Amino acid sequence: MNQDQKWEDFLIPYNQAVEELKIKLKGIRKEFSKGNRHIPIEFVTGRVKPVNSIIGKAALRNIPFDKIDTEMQDIAGLRIMCQFVEDIHEVVRLLRNRNDMKIIEERDYITNKKESGYRSYHVVFEYPVQLIDGEKRILVEIQVRTLAMNFWATIEHSLNYKYQGEFPDAINVRLKRAAEAAFQLDEEMSQIREEIQEAQHLFSHSKRPVIDETSNRY
């Protein structure tokens, strides 16, 4: 068996876990929608870490191959986007109450932001994947954040790829300033959350105007 095949086999349960969890988390969203309640989950994304990223991280942290599955927590990763900071806490509560995952670690980077300004809530858990040879329990990480937090994190990640973590001082200052601006936006939206939710409820239950795509007018 060549190396590529070994990695493909190794990642089978991780790919399966991501697909299963995306369906389950989207199912939660549908439940709230059917119950005519505010939906704490805006949308869900997921991915399995690329092989080159796994190898690079393992080398950086001196993780031997036979311990990657127990010492690397984010090979399977999902992100849950929320409208409000309060939704993040509701989503975390829902995750804690599930019996199909065993939470082993929580990292609150909202209350305790990173030095860079990064904010998000991370939940790491064991998830049982049913394979033809039996059950395999793997580690999965879910990041729960607002849309504003995700926008900042996406930009920071792109810049990190360019500068390899060594940001110029001017970029660092602007990133931190932008992180605070994003969080301030979340704070402001929380202050008028009830009005926003009421408006969204009214909009979703009204007849929406038909758009004439040829004229770009309603």
The catalytic residues are 141
- Are the beta carbons of 39 and 29 closer than 8 angstroms? yes
Q: Is 46:75 a contact under the CB 8 Å cutoff?
A: no
Integer Cα distance of 81 and 164 in angstroms? 26
**What sign for the dihedral angle of Cα 9, 10, 12, 13?**
positive
Mention every residue, 6+ apart, whose C-beta is less than 8 A from residue 115. Answer: none
Count Cβ atoms below 10 Å from residue 75 Cβ, excluding itself. 24
Largest CA distance in the chain: 60
Cα–Cα nearest to 101, from 92, 111, 90, 89: 92
Residue labelled with tokens 């993780």: 63
- Alpha carbon 37 to its chain centroid, in Å, reads 22
